[in-house]
Structure formats: structure tokens, C-alpha cells
Structure 1
Amino acid sequence: MAASWWSLSGRMQLRALACIVYLRVKSAAVDRIVHVWNGGSDALCSVQKFWIGHSPSVCSQNYTLQASTGDTFFMGVGVYGKAPSAYWETVKLEFNPAKVGRCPWFSALYNELIAAAKYVDFKRFDVAIDLPVARSRLRLVKDQRKYGLLEYSAENKTEYLGVRSSHGNCKLYNKALEQKRYLDLTRLEITVDYSMSSWPDFQRIFPDCWEIGSGLPPDDLQGTDLVLYLACNEHPEYVKMLGRKMRKKIEQLLATTAQNVQPDELSYKDILAQILYYGKDIKPEMWADFHEIDAEIPEEWTKKKTKMFDEIKSCGQFQI
């Protein structure tokens, strides 16, 4: 019987983690906002931290802001190495819509920036899928993207695909361990460029992520192979203890009985709707790609990355 994670459990959660927006805003509007903060008012969120950037990849002025919910987000102003403009200023917002979206302080700040903006560029957002499964039982399958592994134990390890902060970047890690909670909770994070965020685009970059130990052994498996399969099915960390030939054989057997994590189309489109909500008051002529306009944006921020892969070929879709 064919099945996906979403049909197996209603506890799966898919949400937007962070949305990054660039704006070209009237300098006077930015000055007004800073004046409110300097006056100690929380009307436009409260400043928790301020620092000056000293790198071309960061803003000149950087703020960690706190919403009325207690959650924080980031706002950057200005371009490193560029003198402030008397007319227009570059602003970068990085926020989690699910956490600060309903905060009236954040809404007031966001609306003030939009009202004073000449250009708005939604760059990218992160999608998180939380799986109530032990980290040791999940595996991110290598494809044409750059693969990385940071492993301390079977439960404390992180797998990566792609280039950090770039379209198609994936990260699989133990969320329960990060939160210091005693339960099975693994998170898969995927970075999506807004310009390539349609459902087919998301399906294309979605990785093969297997749950090992979720299936039964093949009917014709017996002897040593069956014993090794059962042992590694119960303890996936045993696989690397095998010799090269046997390891490859057992890995292939485990793969044929594994379940493959699949995203839910309605849940993903709900995320897009959340993000589009922040564009409802933006006039068509304001939408822009900062890479294509003269907005004095550092190349490190907006240049189009070279393709990490031409085509993501599936390592196998399994029927269970």
C-alpha cells in the first residue's frame, strides 16, 4: 500500500520559519522609526540589541527587535561601506510570520516601512517540517547537491544538502535535542527563493528523506543477510560497522523498505498564502529584484548563485 508521512500521522507540522524581505525606504521614514526607539517607546517593537556591521555581507546598522509576543526578529539598515543616502535607505527584515505576524507592534513597523518604500523584494524563506521520529531513524539521501554530515552520536547529528542560505538548501537535525526536550522530534528545514516558490518548484528541491526501520524484510531474505537487516533496521548506526560490500548490500535492502517523507501540497500553499499576506499592500510597480535595480545592494546579498545542480534525480520512491 502506498503511503506518505502526511497520511501516516496528523501530528506532522509544516510551517514557515523565516521570511527575508529587502526594502528601499525613504531615509526620513527610517529616521522616524529610530527616533521612536531612541525615545524608549514599544510602539514599533522594542530594541533588544544594536550593533554596527563590519562586513560587506551585513548591514551597517543592525537591530534585534522584540515583538509583544516576546519573540524576536531582525532589521538591518544601510549598506556596509556606503555613506547614508539623504533620500533612500536600504532595509532588510528577517522574521517568522507565525511568531510575530499577529503582533500589533510588528504590524505597525512593517506597514510604516511599506508605506515609505519605493521598491520591495521578497528574497527567500525557510520551511520547516517537524517529524515525531527519532533522529537515528531518519536519513537524508545524497543527490547532486553538496552533502555534509556533522555527527557526534546516532541521535546527535546533522545532515546538509546544498549551499547555506541558498535555494534548495536542506538541513536535517534533532530538534528535541536542541530544545532540551525528552521526546522524538526531528526537523527538516528547506530554504526556498521566493522567485522559485511554486508547488512544482518546491517538489523539485524536496530531498529524499527516509525513515529506516519502518518496513518489513523481503520475503526471500534469510540467513546472515536477514540477521544483519533486522539488526540494522532496529539500530541504523550498526550499518557503518559492516564491511564495504556488506554495508552496500544492507543499505540497499534498508532503502527498499524505508518510507520516504513527502510534503503536503495544501500545507505548503498555506505557507505561501501567509507570506503573500505581507505583499497585499504592495503596488505592482514596487515589486523588484534588487539584483536588477540600482539600489546599491552588495553583490553578496543578491547576486544570483550558480546552479548547485541541473536536475535533482530521485534516489528512489518506495511503495510500502
Structure 2
Amino acid sequence: MELMDKLPIQYAVEVVHWNSFRPGAFREQFSIRHQDGTSFWLGAVLNGRKPEWGRVRIDFNPNKVAGHAVFVKLLSFLVLHTRPMHRTIKRYDLAVDIPVKRFDVFLVKDSRAYIERRHGQEWTQYLGAQSSHPGRVKLYNKTVEAKLDYPLTRLEITIDPTTSFDDLPWPAVYYLHTLQMNMDDFKATETERFILNAILQGCGSLNQLGRKTREKVQSLMTRYVSYIELSSGDYNKIMNQLYGYTRGTVVTTPTESDKPPAPPEPPVPDWVREIENEELSM
């Protein structure tokens, strides 16, 4: 608590504190907001039959706050005052940005619960439980969400870090190269595009099509369809970085916006400036 109380003085951050007495929640909760608008959350004292005073949880987006000095200070404090076997990663969100228009990217339904929401250019698809449970998948229009001036679609999946690469509940997500499709001489009709999407979504198979249509759809799949995949090498790199936060080995660079504003210089009387100028001219 002493450390949290000193943060607004030592750094140019806003610390908001509140209490929660709900069972399973953390009693002391803090939101730390930086000058650039980014923030992270910290909770201490887990509520239960007996409060667990030594339990602390931190929730953050490394792409946004890992370089801030106040975050580095708090993370270093937690690493220093805990045992290695007690530092765990509960879950994390893996995001993949696809530089393609949202309506050219598709999420294939599987055994998980499926929800879809559309409103104008906002089209979001979900797989899995309606919360941050592992296995939750979200595909949405990042251009609209972040008010960007270029096409961008984001795939997010919540992962349990104890999951091996082979057991990763990776969704089937693909996108169509529609710009290339429209520019090439190998044109596709609206009907053929509909059939292509239906096949990719698991509605029927190529064997149900006539020979000419089957050959055309097969050519479309080869030329204009790409799947979003994750290699085992990339997954291992992500895991190494992830557990670096529990070991305190992740190198971060504090940002200038964390520094408290410098106090204004006291005004200098004119007679003092005249004396200084005379001394410089001698």
C-alpha cells in the first residue's frame, strides 16, 4: 500500500482505488492510468472464507504498458517479493492482425458455441464461452474499433498457458484475396464465390459439384484463399516472452510520459539578468 500511495507522486499516473468484498474477487483493487491513456489493473487480498493476504493479481496489455516505468516498477516489486513457484500466468489473449477488410475474413464454426453480431461495418464473430475463459475466440473489424484509415481485421483467442501447441484450440480462419480475384483474368462469378465460401465453411464437399464447377472452385481455393496459422516456433517464442514476466527477464524501456512534469523555473528579476549579462560580456 505504501508503494501504491507513492506512485502518483513519483510518476505522472492516476491511481484509482476501490474495494470489493465479493467472494472470489480481490478486496483491494487498483487502476493505474498513464498520461497516454493506457492503463493496467492490480488486485490484492483474495476474498474467501479466510482472506488470502498474500495473493496479488495483475492484468495488463504488454503492447501498451510494458514499457512504462511505473509498470516495470510494480512488476519488479512483485517478482522480488514472491517465490518463483508461486508466480503463475492464469491466461492470456493472443492477437493476430490481418491487413484485410473484415468482410473478406471468415471464421469457421466448430463444436464451440457460436455468436455473431452485425451492425453496419461492425461484424464480430465469437467462438466459445461468453467471457475470458480459455478457448474464447473473437474476430472483429479493427478498422472500425480503432477508427483506422486502412483495412485491418483482428483475431483474438484466449489461451491457457499450460496448453501445449498440439492441444491449442486454434480456430479455422481464412481470408479471400478479393482484390487480386477482381484484377485477374481468372474471374469468379458471385455464384462461384458463394459455393467457395460454403465449401470452406464445411457446407458440402467438392465431390458434390459437377466436374467444371469443381475444377473452378478448386482453382479459386488454390489461388485466392489463405488460412491464418500459427507455427510451433512462433508459439514457443510467445511462451518464452510470456514467462519472462514471471522471471523478471523481459527487457522494457520506460517511456518519457511516465516522468512527472518538471516544476516551472522560478522567475528571475530583471536586475539579476542585467548583472549576468554584464558578467558574460566582460
Structure 1 residue 228, shift from structure 2 partner: 1.9
Deviation at 1:233, TM superposition (A): 8.6
- The answer to whether 1:130 aligns with 2:93 is no
User: Which residue of 1 is the match for residue 10 of structure 2?
Assistant: 42
**Aligned counterpart, 1:92:** 57
Q: Give the residue type in structure 1 aligned to 2:166.
A: P
Q: Distance in 2 between matches of 1:254 and 1:207?
A: 22
Give the counterpart of 2:162 among 195, 198, 206: 195
Distance (Å, rounded) in 1 between the aligned partners of 2:20 and 2:114 = 31
**1:84, distance to aligned residue in structure 2 (A):** 5.0
* Whole-angstrom distance in 2 between the partners of 1:281 and 1:131: 31
Alignment of 1:149-228 (within 5 A): 149-153=116-120, 155-163=121-129, 164-196=131-163, 198-202=164-168, 205-212=169-176, 214=178, 226-228=189-191
- RMSD, aligned CA: 3.7
- Closer, same or farther: CA 278–98 of 1 in aligned 2, 3 Å: same
More helix by share: 2
- Paired residue for 1:105? 70
Tell me the distance in 1 between the aligned counterparts of 2:189 and 2:4. 67
**CA separation of 1:57 and 1:177: change in aligned 2, threshold 3 A:** farther
State the distance in 2 between where 1:185 and 1:84 align: 45
Which of 258, 280, 290 is the matching residue for 2:247? 280
Unaligned 5+ segments in structure 2 are: 250-282
SS at match of 2:55: strand
Structure number with higher relative contact order (C-alpha < 8 Å, ≥ 6 residues apart): 1
Unaligned runs of 5+ in 1: 1-30, 283-320
**Cα distance in 2 for residues equivalent to 1:263 and 1:148:** 24
Compare CA radii of gyration and give the structure with the larger one: 2
Instruction: Please tell me whether the aligned partners of residues 14 and 34 of structure 2 are also in contact (alpha carbons under 8 angstroms).
Output: no
Within the candidate set 57, 62, 66, 2:33 is matched to 66
Q: 1:149 to 1:132 in 2, by over 3 A?
A: same
Q: Any conservation in 1 of the 2:161–2:239 contact (CA below 8 Å)?
A: no
Distance 1:67 1:268, change over 3 A: farther
Q: Which position in structure 2 is the counterpart of 1:229?
A: 192
Residue identity opposite 2:55 in structure 1: T
Name the SS for the 1:183 alignment partner.
coil
The two structures have a TM-score, normalised by structure 2, of: 0.67
> Using a 3 Å threshold, how does the CA distance of structure 1 residues 255 and 167 change in structure 2: closer, same or farther?
farther
In the TM superposition, what is the alpha-carbon distance from 1:278 to its structure 2 partner?
1.4
Question: Aligned runs of 1:260-275 on 2, under 5 Å?
Answer: 260-275=227-242
Deviation of 1:62 after TM superposition, in Å, equals 1.6
How many equivalent pairs are there?
Answer: 226
Indicate the percent of aligned positions where both proteins have the same amino acid: 26
Query: How many Å apart are 1:209 and its aligned residue?
Result: 0.7
